[in-house]
Structure 1
C-alpha cells in the first residue's frame, strides 16, 4: 500500500505537488493520470525517495521507502528506462542490481525469461531498441519480487504484442494481491488495465475513484443516430437548447444533449424512419479531457 498525506513539493517558486492525499491499495491496478507538468513524476520520485517532500509524507507499507531493509523486495520501480550504462549487457545490469540484495542468478534468469530478453541477455544495452529498453526496466522492477510496483509509461516503445503482455502482467500481479501504480498517457490502454484512477492537475488531486465512476464523468450523453432522413431529423433536434450534432455521412450523426428516448420521440412525431438509435458510452479519454480541461499547463497555440 502507498499512502500520501498532505504531500507537497516546491522547486523554488514552482509548486510541483500541492497537498496531495491518497491511498493506493493492494489487489488492484491504480492508474495515475494527468497532463504534462501535473506532478505525476514528482510524486513517484517522492515515493521512492529520489526527492524529499517540502511538506507532508508518503509511505510504502507504513514506512518511508528509504527506511526499507531490502528496497528492491519492497518496491519495484520503472521511472527511467534509460538509466542503464550502455556498455553493460542486460544480464550484467540485472546481476549488479541483484548483488546489492543477495538475489540469486537464478532470479536474474527468471526475469530475463519473463520479459522476453533471454535471447539478448548478453548483448550491450546501448544497442537496444526503445521497446527492449522498456522490457529491461520492467525486468529490473520485477527482480526483487516486490509487493509494490511503480511504473511510469511502461508500454512506451512496445509493439502491440508487448503492450498486451504488460497489460496481462499487471493484471496478474494485482490479482496476486500486489499494489500496482501505473502512469500512462495511453487512455485506451489504461481503460483496459486499471481498476482505479487518480487524476492530477497542477499538482492537486482532480479525481480519485474507480474507473467505472470516472467513465460517468465523460460529459453529456451521446447517442448514435442513423436514418434515411437524417438531415430532416437533425434540423428538428437542433431546435432544442444545448444540442450538438456530429455528422457522420448522409445518413448518420451523433447527438449530445438529448437522450435516446427524447430523440426517438422527435422522430416519431415527424414520422422519420430510424435504423439506429443507440447510446454511445463515454471513453476514458472523454472523461479525462472533461476532468483536466482547466488543468492543462502547457497548451499549443
Structure 2
C-alpha cells in the first residue's frame, strides 16, 4: 500500500506537487494520470525516496521507503529504463542488484525468463532497443518479488505482444493481492489495465475514483446518426434550441442534447430515412480530457499544415 498525506514538493518558487493526499491499495491496478508537468514523476520519485518532500509524508507498506531493511522485497520500481550501466549485460545488471539484497541467481534466472530477456541476457544493455530496455527495467522491478510495484510508462517502446504481456502481468500481480501503481499516457491501455485512477493536474489531485465512475461522470447525451439527408435532418433537429448538431462525415451527424428515440421521432415526422442511430460512448480519453482541460500547462499550437499548408 502507498499512502500520501499532504505531499508537497517545491523547487524554488515553483510548486511541482501541491498537497497531494491519496491511497494506492493492494489488490488493485491504480492508474496515475495527468498532463506533462502535472507532478506525476516527482510524486513517484518521492515515494521511493529519490526526492525529499518539502512537506507532507508518503509511506510504502507502512514505512518510509528508506526505513525498509530490504527495499527490493517491498517495492519494485521502474522510473527510468535507461538507468542502467550501458557496458553491463542484462544478466550482470540484475546480478549486481540482486547481490545488494542477498537474492540468489535462481531468482535472476526467473525474472530473465519471465520478461523474455533470455535470448539477449548476455548482451550489453547499451545495445538494447527501447522495448528491450523496458523489459530489463521491469525485470529489475520484479527482482525482489515485491508487494508493491511502481511503474512509469512501462509499455513505452514495446510491441503489441509486449504490451499485452505487461497488461496480463500487472493484472495478475494485483489479483495476488499486490499493490500496482502505474503511470501512462496511453489511455486505451490504461482503460484495459487499471481498476482505479488518480488524476492530477498542476500538482493537485483532481480525481480519485474507479475507472468506471470517472467515465460515467463524463457521459454526455450525444447520438450519432447516419442518413442520406444529413442537411435536412440537421435543420429540423436544430429547431430545438437545446440541440446541437455537428457534421462528422457527409452522411453522419453527431447530435448533442437529444436521445436516439427523440432523433428517430423527429426524422420520422419529417419523412427522412435513417441508416444508423446509436448513442455515442464516452471513452476514458474523453473523460480525461474533460477533467484536465484547465490543468494543461504545455499546449501545442496548431500546425501550419492543419491550418492550410506550408508557408
Q: Which residue number in structure 2 is paired with residue 149 of structure 1?
A: 149
Q: Which residue number in structure 2 is paired with residue 14 of structure 1?
A: 14
Tell me, yes or no, if the aligned pair for 2:227 and 2:251 is still in contact at 8 Å. Answer: yes
Moved more, 245-254 or 93-102: 245-254
Return the alpha-carbon distance in structure 2 between the equivalents of residues 94 and 241 of structure 1. 65
Q: Which residue number in structure 2 is paired with residue 32 of structure 1?
A: 32
The within-5 A match list for 1:1-301 is: 1-218=1-218, 220-241=220-241, 243-301=243-301
| SS of structure 2 residue aligned to 1:106 | helix
Return the alpha-carbon distance in structure 1 between the equivalents of residues 61 and 261 of structure 2. 50
CA root-mean-square deviation: 1.2
| SS of structure 1 residue aligned to 2:199 | strand
Shift of residue 257, structure 1, vs aligned partner: 2.5
Shift of residue 270, structure 1, vs aligned partner: 1.5
Deviation by residue 1:215-259 (Cα, 9 ceiling, x = unmatched)? 123353221111232221112222333544342433222222322
Deviation by residue 1:163-212 (Cα, 9 ceiling, x = unmatched)? 11111111111111110010000001101100001100000001001000
Return the alpha-carbon distance in structure 2 between the equivalents of residues 298 and 110 of structure 1. 42
Tell me, yes or no, if the aligned pair for 2:223 and 2:254 is still in contact at 8 Å. Answer: yes
Unpaired segments ≥5 residues, structure 2: 302-311
Deviation by residue 1:81-109 (Cα, 9 ceiling, x = unmatched)? 00001000000000000000111101001
| SS of structure 2 residue aligned to 1:235 | helix
Shift of residue 61, structure 1, vs aligned partner: 1.2
Task: Provide the TM-score with structure 2 as the length reference.
Answer: 0.94
Shift of residue 275, structure 1, vs aligned partner: 2.4
Tell me, yes or no, if the aligned pair for 1:134 and 1:154 is still in contact at 8 Å. Answer: yes
Tell me, yes or no, if the aligned pair for 1:217 and 1:290 is still in contact at 8 Å. Answer: no
Deviation by residue 1:114-168 (Cα, 9 ceiling, x = unmatched)? 1100110000001000000000000000000001000000000111111111111
Tell me, yes or no, if the aligned pair for 1:6 and 1:55 is still in contact at 8 Å. Answer: yes
Return the alpha-carbon distance in structure 1 between the equivalents of residues 50 and 89 of structure 2. 25
Tell me, yes or no, if the aligned pair for 2:91 and 2:108 is still in contact at 8 Å. Answer: yes
Task: Provide the TM-score with structure 1 as the length reference.
Answer: 0.97
Unpaired segments ≥5 residues, structure 1: none
| SS of structure 2 residue aligned to 1:216 | helix
Moved more, 192-201 or 219-228: 219-228
